[in-house]
Structure 1
Amino acid sequence: MLTITLIRHGESTHNVLALWSGCTECPLTERGTQQARAVGAYFANTHFTKIYASPLPRARDTAQAVLDAQPTPKPPHDFTVAQIREQSFGAAEGHQTCIRKPGKTLEAHFAEEKYPILYESERHVAFPGGESVEDLTKRGERAVREVVLPHMLNVARLGSDEHIALVSHGLCIAQMVGAIVRLGGGTWKRKGPMVNTGWVRVEVRIQGGIPVEVADDEVPLVEVTVTDEGRADHLEGLLDEGPLRGMKAIMGGGVVDAKSPNEAEAIPQTSAV
């Protein structure tokens, strides 16, 4: 069986300021560092066979905390995986979100360097120079093919269990989980946004017996189960932020409720997976 644990990064400086962060290299806050150490300690007795991370500092440093807490010998790791970086927000990055003015087009907002939270129905829309949700969906599928599938094939061919960790970002994690579930022919509806260092776990079981002869680009017949979602029990006693709202919810994988965009309430982005 292949087990995949996907971990969101710790709190970043952009999270605190409610800025569009995307691919901007913003660091962890002191609280974010504490969260990273907490999730690392939580998984200290979990044997990861490999740890991957987005190259963005907030994810890379969170992954380092997870690696540091692993027993010796440390598992192999790759903290340069560009495929699992966060959605790019282009010109919006570094800007705060704003209230969308009724009757005013998005283009008019962009011309004034105003970047409102997009509706769930606008998954095809991208900020200038950035990625849309549809773009991120395709990248998430590519990441699963390039990063996860080789481990799946290894399990299918050898019959040995593996457990990999992917330290990434809320929006990208949502897309990758959806892509993994689709490999097994299923669908996935996220329950809600992830807090910083929250995690999701997916189990992939090879069907039809092992070993399986499969080509390098072929997906074996699998059964996929999301066993854990939105877990953050490692933060007990540390996290006391109340309900996620606004940008912190959006970056955790939520979208704005189309009925109340100005309040920036987060709801699961079911259309994206």
Structure 2
Amino acid sequence: MTLLYLVRHGETDWNRARRIQGSTDIPLNDLGRSQAREAGDLLARRRFDAVVASPLSRAAETGSIIAERLGLTAPELVPEVAERRYGDAEGLTGEQVEARFPTGTPVPGRESRGALVARVLPALAAIAARYGDGASVVVATHGAVIRAVVNHVSPDTDAHLGVPIRNGSIHSFEFVGDALTLREFDDPIEVESERPGTYAFEYQNALERDAADPA
């Protein structure tokens, strides 16, 4: 069994303004760096072998802060765990998205959820295989990536519907053989990562809330 702890990057100014980031490379703000340090302190309750990260600076810096907190080397950057691409919607607020792309309107350049899962899952499997059985690895990544993985591995439960993936939150998974599963939600690290200060579901970007968003 290999444990993977997926951590959403800390806050950016676009997060604060509720702008869709996607592949746009927006750096952490000061609160985001503080959130990354808090996540690192929580993760330090357990032993980890490595940190990997998306190459987008908000995730790469989050991973670097966490790695320093854990006494590990700088994170390996893995392009396949970068955020979902939102094409022409990037940089827009939820209200602007709804005005420009009403429900059911295709967004040019948007990566489908299916395509996102198809690039992320093999990358996570490769990370698990590289570090091997018994290893624990932190993956600093993005909200839509974590949402896609959660939905893929637990499609028949509504336990996470309406629960936002907060900046700095930690979500633990395990690989046994080729099977990826979400760990129990009594994981003390995960419980702490969703402590008071979590956001309403509306904080998630408008396209991730859109049921008509293409799979």
- TM bucket normalised to smaller: 0.7 to 0.9
Q: Give the one of 143, 151, 162 matched to 2:128.
A: 151
Distance 2:131 2:138 in 1: 16
Match of 1:51 in 2: 51
Q: Give the one of 169, 187, 212 matched to 1:198.
A: 169
Match of 1:130 in 2: 110
Residue segments in structure 1 that go unaligned for 5+ positions in a row: 102-108, 207-218, 259-268
Q: CA deviation at 1:3?
A: 0.9
Q: How many pairs were matched up?
A: 211
Match of 1:231 in 2: 190
CA shift in 2, pair 1:200/1:70, >3 Å: same
Match of 1:77 in 2: 75
Q: CA deviation at 1:147?
A: 3.5
Per-residue CA deviation, residues 22-78 of structure 1 (Å, 9 max, x unaligned), is 11111112111111111011112422222111111111111111101013xx25731
Q: CA deviation at 1:235?
A: 7.2
CA shift in 2, pair 1:199/1:90, >3 Å: same
Q: Give the one of 197, 209, 212 matched to 1:255.
A: 209
Match of 2:33 in 1: 33
CA shift in 2, pair 1:188/1:100, >3 Å: same
Match of 2:15 in 1: 15
Match of 2:88 in 1: 91
Paired residue secondary structure (1:231): helix
CA shift in 2, pair 1:63/1:126, >3 Å: farther
Paired residue secondary structure (1:11): coil
Greater Rg by CA: 1
Conserved? CA contact 1:20–1:96, under 8 Å = yes
Distance 2:124 2:37 in 1: 25
Distance 2:8 2:146 in 1: 7
CA shift in 2, pair 1:129/1:224, >3 Å: closer
For 1:56-67, list aligned pairs within 5 A.
56-67=56-67
Conserved? CA contact 2:94–2:205, under 8 Å = no
Q: CA deviation at 1:16?
A: 0.8
Conserved? CA contact 1:203–1:227, under 8 Å = no
- What amino acid is the match of 2:209? V
Conserved? CA contact 2:39–2:66, under 8 Å = yes
The percentage of counterpart residues that share the same residue type is 22
CA shift in 2, pair 1:91/1:163, >3 Å: same
Q: CA RMSD in A?
A: 3.3
Q: TM-score, normalised by structure 1?
A: 0.65
More contact order relative to length (CA 8 Å, sep ≥ 6): 2
CA shift in 2, pair 1:115/1:28, >3 Å: farther
Distance 2:4 2:94 in 1: 33
